Structure 1
Amino acid sequence: MAASGQNPFSCAVCLDTWRDPVTIPCGHNYCMHCISACWDKEDEKGVYSCPLCSEPFSPRPPLKKNTVLAELVGNMKVQIVTSVPSVVCYAEPGDVECDFCTGRKLKAEQSCLACLVSMCETHLQPHLDVPALRKHKLVKARAGLQDRVCAKHDKPLEVFCCTDQTCICMLCTMDDHKGHETTSVAAERRHKQNQVAETRSHFQQKIQQTVTTLQTLRERMANHKTMSEKTLAHSEKIFTELIQYFEGKRSEVRELISAQQKQAGLNAEEMVQELEQRSTELKKGDAELAELCHEEDHSWFLQRFHTFKNSPALKTSPIMILTVSKYFEDLSQSLSALRQTVESTCDLDMVKISAKSKNYDHWLITLYKYRLCY
C-alpha cells in the first residue's frame, strides 16, 4: 500500500507515474523502460530480480504492457487535468515561452528533445497521453533548442565527432566529417561524465585547501594580534616604572610596535580578501558542475563541458601564509634588560632596539608563496 501522500500509480524506480506499465511475476509493477533498464544491467549474471522485493527470476521474464493499469493511469491523468484548475502563468522576461501559445504566451513547463519545442502545462498534455509522443524525451523547459539541430542539414545532433570534438548529425558523417572517428552523443556523454567527476573532485580539493589556508591565516592573525597586545602591555609596565627617565623612549617603542602591527594587518587583510574571493569562485564552479552532472540533454552537456574543463578557477594562484615574527619577543627581552641597566645603559639599549626595528621593517610578516600543482 502506498504511503500517505504518495502516488499509488508511481514506478518504484523512477518515482514517476507509470509509463507503459508492466507487471512482473512477483506482482510488482514498473514502467517498461525502467524495469528493462534494470534487467539490462543484470544480463551478465543471468539472474534477474525485482527492485522492490529482490525475488530472483531466471531466465529473464518477458514483458507485456498491462493494459488495465495503463487505462487506469490514463483516466487518473484526465481526472487531474479536469478537476484541478491550472494557475495561469504567463511568461516573464527570462522565462521560456510556450511555442504553441498564441497571443500572450504562457510559461513553458517542459521541452521535448525530439520535437525541439517547449510547452506549457496545457500543450504538454498530448506528450503525456498520445502513445507515439510519450516516447519522446522531455526535460525541464530550456531555451536554445535549435542548437540541438545541425545548421547545415537541419537534423538532430545525435553523433559526436571524436576527431573534431563536436556534435554533428548523421548526414555530416557522410560529407564534412566523412572518415572521422565518431560515436553517439550518449556514449561520449558517459565518457565525459567521468572527466566531469574528476574535475569536480579537483574543485572540491581546491575548496578544502583554500578553506584550510584561510583558517590558518586567521589563526595566525589572531596570534599576531595577541603577541602585539602582550608586548605593548609589557612595554607599558616597564616604562611606567621608569617614567621620569624613559618618557621619550617609551614613545619611540610605542610607535615601533604600532607601525609593525598596522603593516601586518594591512598585508593580512589583502590575503583574506583574496582567499575569500577564491573560495566563492570555487564553490560556484562546483555547484555548476553538480548541476551539469544531472543534465539530461547530452548535446547541451557536451557543449558546456569544455567551459568547466578549462575553467579559470582551476588556474594556479599563489596562496600566502602568515608567519608570526619574533620581533615582539626580542623587543620584550630588550625592554626587560633595559630596566636593569638603568640610566647608564639606556641610550645604548635603545640604539639596539631601533636597529632591530629597522631590520624587521620588511620581515615582520614572512610570506611563503607557492603554487598549487595538480
Structure 2
Amino acid sequence: MSSASSLLSEDQFLCSICLDVFTYPVTIPCGHNFCKTCITEHWNIDLQCQCPVCKDVFDRRPELRVNTFISEMAAQFRQSAVRKTSSFSEQQCTNTGEVLCDVCTETKLKAVKSCLVCLTSYCETHLEPHQRIPGLKRHKLIDPVENLEDRMCKKHDRPLELFCKTDQICVCQFCTELDHKKHRIVPLIEEYKYKKAKLGKTEAGIQQMIQERRLKIQQIKQSVKLSKEDADRETAASVQVFTALIQSVERNLAQLIDMIEEKQKTTEKHAEGFIKEMEEEISEMMKRSAEVEHLSRTEDHLQFLQSFPSLNPPPPTKDWTEVRVQSLYEGTVRRAVAQLEETFSKEIKKVCADVELKRVQQFAVDVTLDPETAHAALILSDYGKQVTCGYLWMKLPDNPQRISTCPCVLGKQSFSSGRFYYEVQVKGKPKWDLGVVRESINRKDPITANPKTGFWAIGLRNENEYKAFTGPAVSLSLKSKPQKVGVFVDYEEGLVSFYDVDVAALIYSFTDCNFTEKLYPFFGPCNNDDGKNSAPLIISPVSHTD
C-alpha cells in the first residue's frame, strides 16, 4: 500500500468541493467521489441532486455510504503527507519553535490554525477554504500544534475523534465498529468537557485546600503571636509578683532582726541592773565583813562585849535564787515564719489580683447602650454610656429586639470570638445586675436569669446581698462594696469573670461555659424604688491600674 500510494498524486485524493484530502469519502452513482459532509451540504443548498463535476441529475437523493477503499487510500496519503511535512517542518522550525503550514510547497509560512478533521496545519492563505466553504466551516480548528499524526488511529489510520468511556481511550470511527463495539462511545468534545469540568473541580478542591492551609498557617502564626504576648505578660507578672514577695521577705527579715536585737538589748540592760545591784550588796557585805573580822580579833573580853551591840546590823539583801537572765528567742523564727506565711498569703492574693486585673484590662473594648433593646422604663444618655430607671414607662415601638419583662438594656456591640473587657460604675445603687447574654434570649416573657437561659450575670440586692445568678443563685461574700465592676469574657475559654476594680479583687467567675452564639453586654439598673435606686449605671473608660 505504501508503494502504491507513492505513485498516486495529491489531486486524486482531493475533494472537488473543499479542495482538501477526502474525509469520509463517498461515491455517488455517477462515479465521482466527495467528502460525505461536502456533498451533503451541497445538496442541502442546491434543491436538485446533481453531481458538482459532471452535472448528472438524480431523481432522488442517493444513499451515501463511505467508500472504505478510497478512505483508506486517502488516510495513507494524508499520513504520508503529514510525515513529509512534519520532517520538513522540523528542520524549518528547529530554531524558531513555530508550527509551519503543511500545504505550502516552497517557502513554508507560519501556520495560524490546525484542523483536527483534516489533520493539517494551515497558514492564513490555505486556511481560506475552511472559512468559506460550508462543509469545511464545521471542521474543528485549534491553535497550531505539531505531530498531528498522533491524532490518527495507529490501527485504522482514521482520526481519533471519539472516546471510549468503557476503556478510557481515544478511538476512531472504525474502532467503534470493531474492537469497541457495544462500548459506551462519546464524542471527544463531550469527554473533554466532562474531564475538564472534573479537572476544574479537582483544581478548585486543591485551591481550597491550599487556602485552608494558608489560613491555618496564619491562625498558627497568630496563635504563636498571642502566645508570645501572653508569655511576655506572664513573665512581667511573675517578675512583679516575686519581686513583691522578695521585698516582703526582706522587710520581714529586717523586722525580725530588729526585734531580736531589741530583745537582746533589753536582756543586757536587765542583766546589767542585776549585776549592779548585786555588786552594791557585795560592797556593803564586804564592809560588814571587815567590821566583824575586826571585832573578832579583840582579845579583851570586856571591850568585845561592850562593842558587840554597836556592830552595824546586816544590810538588807535580796534573794537572788530565782533571779535568772533567760533567752527570749525560743520560737521566734517559727512565729516569724508563721507571720510571714500569713503576710505572704495576703501579699500574693493582692499582687496576683493586681496582675490579673491588669491582664484583662488589656482587652478593653468600647461599649455603648443599644436603645432598640432598652425596656420602656429606662432612660439612656445621649452618648449611650449611662442608664437609669425612670418613674414612668415611655411609649416605644415593641420591636423584636426590645426587652419587655424587666428594666434592662443590652450593648450595641456583639462578640462571637476572642476576649473583651469593660467597666461599669455601680456607685450609689442598692440594686443592679451586670453581665453578658446570648443573642437568642427570651426578650418578651418573664424568665429566671442563669446560664441555661442565656444569662451570665451577677447582681446586688438590698444594698449588701451580692449574688451570682447560677440557677439557683449563689450568695457572694465580699470584703468591700464594689463601686466599679469590671466584666471580662474569654469566648473560646468559656469564661466570664467579674472584678472589683478599686481593690483589684475577683468577685466571681463563670467557668466551662459553652458559647455558640453572639454575646451582648447586659445592664440591669433594676427598679427605681421611689428614687432610692435612681443612681445610673455608667459605662466607664478603662483606666489601667498602677
Bin for the TM-score computed over the shorter chain: 0.3 to 0.5
Query: Normalized per residue, which structure has more strand?
Result: 2
Q: What TM-score, normalized to structure 1?
A: 0.35
Bigger radius of gyration among the two: 2
The answer to which structure, 1 or 2, has the higher relative contact order (CA under 8 A, 6+ apart) is 1
